[in-house]
């Protein structure tokens, strides 16, 4: 049986499957005598809130990782630029050419 993917995540990986925007837009609730089942709506809201919390935390961690990598790259470039400069006595004179 082929493995089914949902939101880029293989099902059955131990992590809860993420909600897709389509699921949120087209979520339907069972009709009741006076509207929809409030318990069902609350469960959906809790699931959506959990998903948003997870995504916000992931974005925060990715932002931190991005900043760490940016600093590391800047430090490496600074170090590399210092090491790659040729000594002054070995710099060929500019004879009007490129």
| Range 61-84 average pLDDT | 92
Band of residue 7 on the pLDDT scale cut at 50, 70, 90: low
Give the position of tokens 């880029």: 8
Under the banding of pLDDT at 50, 70 and 90, the label for residue 14 is low
**Distance (Å, rounded) from C-alpha 73 to C-alpha 95?**
35
Dihedrals phi, psi of 97, to nearest 5 degrees: -100, 175
Which letter, b or e, does each residue of 1-37 get, where b requires 16 or more Cβ atoms within 10 Å of its Cβ?
eeeeeeeeeeeeeeeebebeeebeeeeeeeeeeeeee
Cβ contact 3:11 at 8 Å: yes
Q: Check pLDDT > 90 for residue 98.
A: no
**Percentage with pLDDT > 90 across the chain:** 21
pLDDT for the residue numbered 91? 58
As given in the structure block, the two tokens for residue 33 are 């005598």
Which tens digit of pLDDT belongs to each residue from 16-45? 677 777 787 788 888 888 888 888 888 988
């Amino acid at each position: 049986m082929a493995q089914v993917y949902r939101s880029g995540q293989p099902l059955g990986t131990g992590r809860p499957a993420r909600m897709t925007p389509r699921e949120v837009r087209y979520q339907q609730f069972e009709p009741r005598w006076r509207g929809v089942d409030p318990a069902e709506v609350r469960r959906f809201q809790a699931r959506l809130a959990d998903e948003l919390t997870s995504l916000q935390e992931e974005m925060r961690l990715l932002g931190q990782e991005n900043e760490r990598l940016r600093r590391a790259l800047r430090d490496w470039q600074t170090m590399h630029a210092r090491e790659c400069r040729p000594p002054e006595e070995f710099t060929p004179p500019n004879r009007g050419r490129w």
